Amino acid sequence: MVPSVRIAPSILSADFARLGEEIRAIDEAGADWIHVDVMDGHFVPNLTIGPMVVKALRPHTTKTFDVHLMISPVDAFLDAFAQAGADIITFHPEAGPHSHRTVQHIKSLGKKAGVSLNPGTPAKMLDYLIDEVDLVLIMSVNPGFGGQSFIESQLRKIEAVRKMIDKSGREIALEVDGGIDATTAPRAIAAGADVLVAGTATFRGGPSAYAANIAGLRGS
């Protein structure tokens, strides 16, 4: 049975000196997905990891690798991340230039396709993509860094996208990323989210705290 709310810890907040161990620890602590933030120092003001690291981490868990590409141009890297072990590949429409083609490319690789909306990107951006995507990621902070505060206006966007998904009749995950903690998680869920990305709130306190942190985000 798939949990009603899936928790996808962001490894951006993990201890990078022991990433393999960290992934095994959050897997055992009850994480549903592993969220991998890929940043290029160009599309967003930070630089993280590439496909070689994703490939190195893949053997450490069988959980879904939810790979969020904050890179531009994005199309040139889709094959590499697919081959590295990504299960879901999410991109930003602004990293295009042809969002529909990007979705088609991801799906041709046998992967699930996600579209991410920045705080200033309207839900309307999905009008001609909603029938193709498998996931919509609402950024509730401006992408680039962990530990930021939740942007309240994104609750309205989560509600709007929830209605679009329900109207489509398709099984599309609605994921929220940014400032998610025990206080904001229930609000995002109430607005319609069914996947929560949490970095700081998951990894706070070290491995012995991970299970309780994840349970707290679920509201259990």
pLDDT digits (tens, 9 = 90+) for 115-150: 999 999 999 999 999 999 999 999 999 988 777 899
155: nearest Cα among 131, 180, 135: 180
Q: Give 179-185 contacts, CB < 8 A, sequence gap 24+.
A: 179/140, 179/141, 179/148, 179/149, 179/150, 179/151, 180/140, 180/150, 180/217, 181/217, 182/216, 182/217, 184/140, 184/150, 185/216, 185/217, 185/218, 185/219
Share above pLDDT 90 across residues of the chain, in percent, rounded to a whole number:
92
Residue 96 has pLDDT above 90, yes or no: no
Average of pLDDT values for 74-78?
97
Domains within the chain, CATH numbers bracketed: 6-218 (3.20.20.70)
pLDDT at 151 over 60: yes
92 is in an annotated binding site: no
Q: What is the mean predicted confidence (pLDDT) over 109-116?
A: 98
Give dist(CA 194, CA 212) in Å, integer.
19
| Catalytic option among 32, 75, 134, 177 | 177
Which is the catalytic residue, given 37, 75, 134, 194?
37
98 belongs to an annotated ligand binding site: no
15 is in an annotated binding site: no
What's the confidence (pLDDT) of residue 1? 33
pTM of the model: 0.96
Q: What is the pLDDT of residue 220?
A: 66
**Known binder of ligand: residue 199?**
yes
Beta pairing partners, 177: 139, 197
146 touches 10 (CB < 8 A): yes
DSSP state of 128: T
Question: How much is the mean pLDDT over the chain?
Answer: 95
Catalytic residue status for 177? yes
Report yes or no: 198 and 185 within 8 Å, Cβ to Cβ: yes
Residue 3, CA distances (Å) to 11, 90, 142 in order: 21, 21, 28
pLDDT at 147: 76
pLDDT of residue 144: 81
Is residue 66 part of the annotated active site? The answer reads no
Residue 43, annotated as binding a ligand:
no
pLDDT at residue 3 is higher than 90: no
Q: What is the pLDDT of residue 2?
A: 42
CA distance 161 to 167: 10
179 is an annotated ligand-binding site residue: yes
Is there a binding annotation on residue 200? Answer: yes
Measured CA to CA, the distance from residue 197 to residue 43 in angstroms comes to 20
